[in-house]
Amino acid sequence: MSLLKLLIFHPILMLSAFIGTADGYYEYRMSECVYSTSDYSDMVYLTSLSFNKVVELQFNSTVGKFVGITEDGVKQAERLNKDQALLQGLKAQVDTLCRPNAQIVDSSVRDKAVLPKVKLSSVKQAEGRHPAVLMCSAYEFYPERIKVSWLRDGKEVTTDVTSTMEMADGDWYYQIHSELEYTPKSGEKISCVVEHASSPQPIVEDWNPSMPEVDRNKIAIGSSGLVLGIIIAAAGLIYYKKKSSGRILVPN
């Protein structure tokens, strides 16, 4: 399973029912459709029963029966699991409830998705015992849900990573920023991976540590100035030669 599918196709469709009483006690039922693949092949239907905010038992379509969590929930599960018609009906919710609604939700999201603009930059160079810091930023994307991760030599980095939440720009778009602290090693490959509903494949930005970004910018600006200077000098030389060719030299 790719990381992209895990991100994009992992919404949870939820239905809930609330039953309250005059003396303050209440029961609460929540139904969820959880999946992580685009073809919904791993779709799971979950329904749980709670009493006063405590989950007592849960039905999982993969397990095919109720599982009690509390002492009272265990007793209820034993009773409910004897009803085969009930269990079969709940298992069928995968096809009758989950998949149709997941298709509607996913299609509506994909139709409106906007590809993020990704930038990978150096925030701090390594100095002595202090690590270097890279920042990976994703801008102007929609919808809100997105995943930003780091790879070092193809392996996902799970430590020394800090990320902001998805932040609204105020114009329907979002942005997010993630930083990686690391000690540079010769020959290693560091990549930022952005996964979003707008792209069928992960967006991968590789870091080139051969030259700091500030130095690259200075060289680019200097090179541009040098080229411009050569052009101006060449134009002046051509103008001077044309003016000189039209003069008549008179000996003294």
Report pLDDT digits (tens) over 65-106: 999 999 999 999 999 999 999 999 999 999 999 999 888 877
What pLDDT band is residue 149 in, cutting at 50, 70 and 90?
very high
Phi and psi at residue 9, to the nearest 5°? -100, 50
Domains parsed from the chain with CATH numbers: 3-111 (3.10.320.10), 117-206 (2.60.40.10)
| 3-state secondary structure string across 154-214 | CEECCCCEEECCCEECCCCCEEEEEEEEECCCCCCCEEEEEEECCCCCCEEEECCCCCCHH
pLDDT at 3 over 60: no
- Given this model, what pLDDT does residue 248 score? 45
- Given this model, what pLDDT does residue 219 score? 47
Give the span between the Cα atoms of 66 and 50, in whole angstroms: 13
DSSP code of residue 115: P
Tokens of 249: 């030299």
Compute the average pLDDT of residues 196-204: 91
Predicted model pTM: 0.47
- Given this model, what pLDDT does residue 5 score? 34
User: Greater confidence, 107 or 183?
Assistant: 183
Q: What is the dihedral of CA 105, 107, 109, 115, to 10 degrees?
A: 160
- Given this model, what pLDDT does residue 82 score? 95
pLDDT at 24 over 70: no
Residues in the chain: 252
- Given this model, what pLDDT does residue 209 score? 72
Compute the average pLDDT of residues 145-160: 92
- Radius of gyration of the chain, Cα coordinates, nearest whole angstrom: 31
- Beta strand segments in the chain, E: 12-20, 26-34, 44-51, 54-60, 65-68, 117-124, 132-141, 146-152, 155-156, 161-163, 167-168, 174-182, 190-196, 203-206
What pLDDT band is residue 195 in, cutting at 50, 70 and 90?
very high
Tokens of 198: 């707008």
- Given this model, what pLDDT does residue 113 score? 85
Compute the average pLDDT of residues 217-245: 61
